[in-house]
Structure 1
Amino acid sequence: MSEGLFFPVIETERLTLRPLATDDSESLLDIFSSPEVMKYWNTAPWSDIQDALDFIDVSNASMLREESLVLGIYLKSTRDLVGKCMLFSYDKESKRAEVGFGLGQRYWGKGYIHEAGVALIQYGFNALGLRRIEAEIDPDNHASAKALEKLGFTLEGLLRQRWEVNGVVSDSALYGRLVSDQSSNSLA
């Protein structure tokens, strides 16, 4: 596996964030084949192992090109993969990226998104030199909105009729966070 800014291993109290490997494919499929996990995504639930393998390949290729940072979220206690976190749509010149998270349903409500989010955001601001991190979510996804606000993001606007998935048209809520925001250096 490559090394450098786009292939970090980030440790938190309970988690390890690191690039995905081929042997993570079954765990990824288990997580992202769930209709509940994928409810607010702009793609359908994954249907077979090839979806997971393709995601890993595309993610690692994008990281090699320094276009995104896609990390698995692993429990330190068991080494189990419980989700993924990513900085994508990376624009080096504008010093911005978009953040995204996906977590297995049985791990919801345990603070893992907040813990991984704090580490990923700090990495984006400190190591990648980002000035701005954005998130785009379905306005009906109240859990993600709450998680983003807890991570110091501000609701900046609504993009009307932004997505259509399986014939369902939905809006997007746009959240943003700047390195200069007061909470940037005080996340806990």
Structure 2
Amino acid sequence: MFEAFYPVIETKRLVLRPLAISDSESLLSIFSDAEVMKYWNTPPWTSIQNAVDFINDSKDSMLCQASLTLGVYLKPTDELAGKCMLFNYDKESKRAEIGFGLSRACWGKGYIGEAGEALIQYGFNKLGLRRIEAEIDPDNLSSANALEKLGFSREGVLRQRWEINGVVSDSALYGRLVTDEPLKLNNA
């Protein structure tokens, strides 16, 4: 099962694989962008140390099989487009939460759908998950649309769940079960 937390997953246009320290500058460039971080529950990153810490924490979490964090790389350039994660992994309950972050230059190209479905299938088929959850800011319509295209159902709202830099926001909860209709993507 250990190898399950260090996969390389290929799709038509993308490669999903564990992040390396050499990705630090690219990662910082993505997650220091206020627009990318607008709906996150943390402020934008401010230093290369944020990226290094994230990569090291991700590796530690994968070693203890608590989460799976993969870089999203574009074929054939190998450019880092962002990251995708299965986290809050609960082996006994066969459940995890999914999350994504993409460079603004990669928005609107269908990468979330492509990487998302590959990660979801990996979670269901390799990690034995029964349920994958997502929590987003209800104002984040792009994420809501992406989740719905990925076959997630909106299941509820947690009111005033987060406060970041004095801004209070709700959380919309989404879920997808292994028994839900499989998604039919046309990976352009």
TM-score (norm. length: structure 2): 0.97
**SS of aligned partner of 1:183:** coil
* Counterpart residue number, 2:53: 54
* Counterpart residue number, 1:88: 87
Distance in 1 between residues matched to 2:182 and 2:57, nearest whole Å: 33
Q: Kindly provide the CA deviation profile for residues 42-85 of structure 1, in whole angstroms up to 9, marking residues without a partner as x.
A: 00000010000000000000000000000000001210001000
TM-score (norm. length: structure 1): 0.97
**SS of aligned partner of 2:99:** strand
Q: Kindly provide the CA deviation profile for residues 102-151 of structure 1, in whole angstroms up to 9, marking residues without a partner as x.
A: 00001100001110001000000000000000000000000000000000
Query: Which residues in structure 2 correspond to 1:1-188 (within 5 Å)?
Result: 4-183=3-182, 186-188=184-186
Q: Kindly provide the CA deviation profile for residues 21-52 of structure 1, in whole angstroms up to 9, marking residues without a partner as x.
A: 00000000000000000000000000010000
**SS of aligned partner of 2:182:** helix
Structure 1 unmatched ranges of 5 or more: none
Structure 2 unmatched ranges of 5 or more: none
Distance in 2 between residues matched to 1:70 and 1:129, nearest whole Å: 17
**SS of aligned partner of 2:3:** coil
Q: Output the amino acid matched with 1:138.
A: D
Distance in 1 between residues matched to 2:181 and 2:86, nearest whole Å: 21
Cα distance change of structure 1 residues 99 and 50 upon mapping to structure 2, 3 Å threshold: same
How far residue 183 of structure 1 moved from its aligned partner, in angstroms, is 2.5
RMSD: 0.9
Distance in 2 between residues matched to 1:167 and 1:4, nearest whole Å: 41
Runs of 4+ in 1 over 2 A off after TM superposition: none
Percent sequence identity over matched residues? 72
**SS of aligned partner of 2:5:** coil
